[in-house]
């Protein structure tokens, strides 16, 4: 399965098993390039395959939130397990991003 899946005006980002400083730059670049080329209103980050995320992942999500906010769009996260939910909640990101 490809990482990016465009469904109308929604971009679904199928995240890898580990969302850390090694993977976030590729994710960021891929999402930003597609959002620049296509009319995207919503970006959904699908965590169904993700077992680990560190602060680089939180930074990547916040960066995409700022990009989408500037475009009057939004982002959301889906299929998050208990551990990822805890990390996201501790960061306070739920104030900005629909979980």
Q: Please answer whether residues 95 and 60 qualify as being in contact, where contact means their C-beta atoms are separated by less than 8 angstroms.
A: no
* Nearest CA-CA partner of 50 in 73, 74, 27: 27
More confident residue, 94 or 7: 7
**pLDDT range class, residue 98, cuts 50, 70, 90:** confident
pLDDT per position as a tens digit, 36-85: 999 999 999 999 999 999 999 999 999 999 999 999 999 999 999 999 99
What pLDDT score does 96 carry?
A: 86
What is the tally of structural domains in the chain? 1
pTM: 0.93
Q: Which domain holds residue 79?
A: 4-95
Report the CATH number at residue 28: 3.30.750.24
What pLDDT score does 1 carry?
A: 55
């Amino acid at each position: 399965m490809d990482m990016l899946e465009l469904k109308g005006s929604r971009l679904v980002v199928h995240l890898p098993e580990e969302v850390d400083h090694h993977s976030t730059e590729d994710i960021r670049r891929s999402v930003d390039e597609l959002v620049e080329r296509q009319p995207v209103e919503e970006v959904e980050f699908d965590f169904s395959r993700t077992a680990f995320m560190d602060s680089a992942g939180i930074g990547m999500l916040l960066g995409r939130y700022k990009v989408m906010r500037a475009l009057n769009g939004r982002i959301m996260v889906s299929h998050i397990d208990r551990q990822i939910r805890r990390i996201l909640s501790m960061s306070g990101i739920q104030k900005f991003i629909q979980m």
